[in-house]
């Protein structure tokens, strides 16, 4: 059984189609969707993928109609699978593959709920030794795009943009909600990463599932800490995906809380004195050496 993705008329002479075929054709990993074939007929283009019977992750974490809630443990397994898939894209191929559109909608689930990264229309390939990449325009989906795609003064664009997107995805998996929700019950909960940082810093449990075991609570806290590291404002302060996998597989007791993430460079500057009073450059440097 297969799945067909029909592509509409492209504004870039089919560049998105060429990107997807060229990129995914060289990838072979359990956590990346497999391209079986493609078809071109005139202006019509189609990609043929392996069939993913459980659809996208989006409907499970945002409780779309007809979806069955996933357990904390299953969400953790999915998060680890996605992290391994992105790590492979960054380090496991002969070229460095930057996805630029990691989000719940682009994570597909097979019959066993094994996650597969999909939609490589915005992907870019670069030599593995490239530490930064040239981009003429921001790429991705608002809410998951790394700040350096908009603010050039905080760091160059690199694989760390995917790390940021993964962190935002991980936050939504933990909260089972959009990170930015103007309809939240309390104003402090409108931006979930900021609220959840305060909760964990104060040693409070994040209740996302009734009757959660102690192990599940620790797993949730671990996912939050990893996500907070991934969404640090400056790319240099974020871990590599290899380090992310290590952190997810480790005990929560071995992880340290990062500085509180900021929405924009302006907000960071406004709160700079508080930031530096709580975390010295040496504190962050201890972690950077492992990134």
* Integer CA distances (angstroms), 167 to 69, 93, 129, 148, in order: 21, 22, 23, 15
What is the rounded distance in angstroms from the CA atom of residue 129 to the CA atom of residue 46?
Answer: 33
State the number of CA atoms in the 13 A half-sphere of 101 facing the CB.
Answer: 16
Q: In which residue ranges of the chain is pLDDT below 50?
A: 269-283
- The set of residues, in sequence order, having a beta carbon less than 8 Å from that of 76 and lying 6+ positions away, is 219, 223, 248
pLDDT of residue 65: 61
The per-type count for the chain, helices as H runs and strands as E runs, is: 10, 7
Report the distance separating Cα 70 and Cα 206, nearest Å: 16
| Polymer length in residues for the chain | 291
Catalytic residue annotation: 101
> How much is the pLDDT for 274?
43
Residue 187, C-beta contacts closer than 8 angstroms, at least 6 positions apart: none
- Residues 77, 4: Cα–Cα separation, whole Å: 27
Q: Alpha-carbon distance 79 to 74, whole Å? A: 9
Under DSSP, is residue 49 helix (H, G, I), strand (E, B) or coil? strand
The first and second tokens of residue 212, run together, are 């959660």
HEC sequence for 123-144: CEEECCCCCCCCCCCCCCCCCC
Tell me the C-alpha distance between 187 and 199, whole Å.
Answer: 15
Structure tokens given for 57: 């992750």
Please state whether beta strands 96-98 and 2-7 pair in parallel, antiparallel, or not at all (unpaired). unpaired
Strands (E), the chain: 2-7, 35-41, 44-50, 96-98, 107-109, 115-117, 124-126
CATH number of 53-288: 1.10.510.10
**pLDDT tens-digit profile of 173-212?**
999 888 887 666 666 677 888 889 998 988 887 766 667 8
* Residue whose pair of structure tokens reads 């935002």 in the numeric block: 168
Strand runs labelled E in 8-165: 35-41, 44-50, 96-98, 107-109, 115-117, 124-126
CB contact set of 279 (below 8 Å; sequence gap of 6+): 259
Exposure b/e, 121-150, CB count within 10 A at least 16 = b: bbbbbbeeeeeebebeeebbeeebbbbbbe
């Amino acid at each position: 059984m297969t799945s067909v993705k029909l592509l509409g008329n492209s504004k870039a002479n089919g560049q998105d189609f060429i990107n997807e075929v060229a990129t995914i054709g060289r990838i072979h990993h359990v956590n990346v969707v497999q391209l079986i074939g493609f078809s071109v007929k005139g202006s019509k283009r189609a990609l043929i993928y392996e069939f993913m019977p459980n659809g996208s992750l989006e409907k499970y974490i945002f409780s779309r109609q007809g979806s069955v809630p996933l357990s904390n443990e299953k969400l953790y397994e999915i998060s680890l699978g996605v992290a391994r898939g992105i790590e492979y894209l960054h380090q496991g191929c002969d070229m460095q593959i930057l996805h630029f559109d990691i989000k719940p909608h682009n994570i597909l689930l097979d019959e066993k709920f094994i996650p597969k990264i999909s939609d490589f229309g915005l992907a870019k390939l670069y030599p593995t030794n490239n530490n930064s990449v040239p981009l003429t325009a921001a790429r991705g989906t608002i809410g998951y795009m790394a700040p350096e795609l908009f603010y050039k003064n905080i760091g160059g664009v690199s694989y760390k943009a995917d790390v940021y997107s993964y962190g935002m995805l991980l936050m939504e998996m933990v909260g089972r909600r959009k990170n930015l929700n103007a309809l939240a019950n309390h104003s402090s909960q409108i931006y979930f990463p900021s609220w959840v940082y305060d909760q964990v810093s104060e040693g409070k449990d994040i209740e996302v599932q009734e009757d959660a075991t102690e192990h599940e609570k620790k797993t949730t806290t671990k996912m939050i800490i990893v996500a907070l590291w991934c969404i640090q404002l400056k790319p240099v302060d974020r871990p590599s995906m290899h380090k992310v996998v290590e952190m997810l597989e480790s005990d929560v007791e071995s992880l340290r809380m990062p500085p509180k993430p900021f929405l924009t460079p302006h907000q960071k500057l406004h709160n700079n004195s508080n930031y530096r009073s709580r975390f010295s450059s040496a504190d962050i440097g201890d972690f950077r050496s492992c990134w």
